[in-house]
Amino acid sequence: MNAKIVLIPGDGIGPEVVSEAVRVLDVIASRGGHTFSYESILMGGCSIDAHGTALTDEALAIARASDAVLLGAVGGPKWDDPKAKVRPEQGILALRKGLGVFANLRPAKVHPALIDASPIKPDRLAGVDVLVLRELTGGLYFGYKGREVVDGRTKVVDALEYWDDEIRRILELAFKLARGRRKKVTSVDKANILDSSRMWRQIATEIGQAQPDIALEHMLVDTAAMRLVTSPAHFDVLVTENMFGDILTDEASVLAGSMGMLPSASLGDGGPGLYEPIHGSAPDIAGKGIANPVGTILSAALLLRYSLGLEAEAAALEAAVDAAISAGARTKDLGGTLSTTQMTERVLTALG
C-alpha cells in the first residue's frame, strides 16, 4: 500500500498530537510493508498569520490530491475576535466543502477502565457504544447569512437550508453503518417546530420502511440531549443534522471521560476522507507536552480503515490503545502523569 497523507497540524496542541499520530502510522507502515508519504499544509490561525486566509486555494488543492487528510486542531485566543472577517473556523468549513465530505462519524465508546473518569454515574455507562453521525454540508452553517440595520435596530439572519438529497445520503449511510453494528438507528430532529426536520423525518421513515430489519426511532433533539447522559447505552447509531450533531457529539464526549479520547472521520462519496480528534486547540496547554494524543491516534486508525482499506491495521491500533489504557496509561486529562510522548510510547509498546 502506497498512500499520500496530508497533515494539517493547525494551532495550539494540534502540531503536538499530529506528530504523535504520524509516529504510530510510521510504525504501522514499516511493519506492514506499506509506504506512507506526508505533506503538511497550513490551516486555521497559522494560515491567517501567513496568508491572510484560513485556507488557501493551493492548500486545498494539495488536500484534494491526497488519499487522506489528518487534522489536529485550529483556533485560539489570538484569532478569537467576533468582529473579525477572517476566522480559523472558516478553514474547516472550506476544507469540508472542498473535499466533499458530508458525513462526520464520531464514535463514543466507554472504556471499562475509564468509567470513573466520566462525570456520569458508572451504572449508566455500562455497555455504551454510540456512533454519532452528523451531516456536515448543510444546515445553519452553510445557509444564507445576512445582517441589516433597520430604524436603529440590527437584524441578523442564519438560514437553516437543506436539499432532500443531502438528507437522504446521510440517512442512507446511517442505515448502512447500523447494519454492521446492532441494527438500530435513532434519527434526531426537531420535527415539532422546524419544516426542515419534518422533511428529515419523512425521508428517514421512507428509508426505514425499505429496510425493516433495521430498527428506526425518531427522537426530538432535546430528548436526545437528555437521554445521552441519562441512558446512553440506549443508542447505537444516532444520526442528525449539522448543528444538532455539533452539539450532541461534544456532549457524547463526556461519556468517555475526556474529549482527548475521541476520534472522528468525515467521509464523502469519493476522494480523501478527513480525520481529526474532536477536541479543540487547547491553547492553555499548548507546548507543555501534556496533551492527550489518543483522540488523534484513534483518528489515524479510522484513516487506515476508511480511506486506506487497512482494516487489520486499524483494529490492531485500536486494540493497542485499549490495552495501554487497561494497563493504566493516563495523561493528565485522565488523572495521570504521562506526557504526550509517553502516552504514545505506551500505545506503541502495546502494539507489539
**pLDDT given for residue 226 in this prediction:** 97
**pLDDT given for residue 327 in this prediction:** 96
3-state secondary structure of 340: helix
Average pLDDT over the chain, rounded to an integer: 95
Q: Which of 80, 116, 222, 284 is catalytic?
A: 222
Confidence band of 62 (pLDDT split at 50, 70, 90): very high
**Helices marked H in 100-215 — which ranges?**
164-179, 195-210
Domains and CATH numbers, the chain: 1-106+262-352 (3.40.718.10), 119-256 (3.40.718.10)
**C-alpha grid cell, residue 88:** 480559523
**pLDDT given for residue 118 in this prediction:** 84
Bridge partner residues of 8 (DSSP): 71
250 given a catalytic annotation: yes
Confidence band of 81 (pLDDT split at 50, 70, 90): confident
**pLDDT given for residue 83 in this prediction:** 83
CA distances from 99 to 40, 73, 77, 263 (A): 16, 17, 27, 19
> Inter-axis angle of helices 164-179 and 195-210, to 10 degrees?
40
265-294: average pLDDT: 95
List the strands of the sheet with 215-220, edge to edge: 35-40, 2-10, 68-73, 273-275, 265-268, 101-109, 129-135, 237-240, 184-189, 215-220
Percent of the chain scoring above 70 in pLDDT: 100
Whether residue 257 has pLDDT greater than 80: no
260-272: average pLDDT: 92
Angstrom distance (rounded) from CA 350 to CA 292? 17
Confidence band of 315 (pLDDT split at 50, 70, 90): very high
Q: What would the pLDDT profile of 124-148 be if each residue is shown by its tens digit?
A: 898 899 999 999 999 999 899 999 9
Confidence band of 5 (pLDDT split at 50, 70, 90): very high
**pLDDT given for residue 259 in this prediction:** 81
Amino acid letter for position 192: N
246 given a catalytic annotation: yes
149-159: average pLDDT: 96
Q: Which of 4, 109, 183, 250 is catalytic?
A: 250
Confidence band of 60 (pLDDT split at 50, 70, 90): very high
Select from 313, 284, 273 the least CA-distant residue to 297. 313
Q: Which of 141, 162, 275, 306 is catalytic?
A: 141
For residue 319, which phi and psi values (nearest 5 degrees)?
A: -65, -35
**pLDDT given for residue 42 in this prediction:** 98
Q: What would the pLDDT profile of 185-216 be if each residue is shown by its tens digit?
A: 999 999 999 999 999 999 999 999 999 999 99
CB atoms within 10 A of CB 19: 17
**pLDDT given for residue 352 in this prediction:** 87
Q: Which of 11, 189, 190, 236 is catalytic?
A: 190
**C-alpha grid cell, residue 162:** 437543506
Confidence band of 177 (pLDDT split at 50, 70, 90): very high
What is this structure's pTM?
0.90
Whether residue 334 has pLDDT greater than 80: yes
**pLDDT given for residue 122 in this prediction:** 87
Confidence band of 115 (pLDDT split at 50, 70, 90): confident
Q: Which of 129, 158, 246, 322 is catalytic?
A: 246
Whether residue 72 has pLDDT greater than 90: yes
38 given a catalytic annotation: no
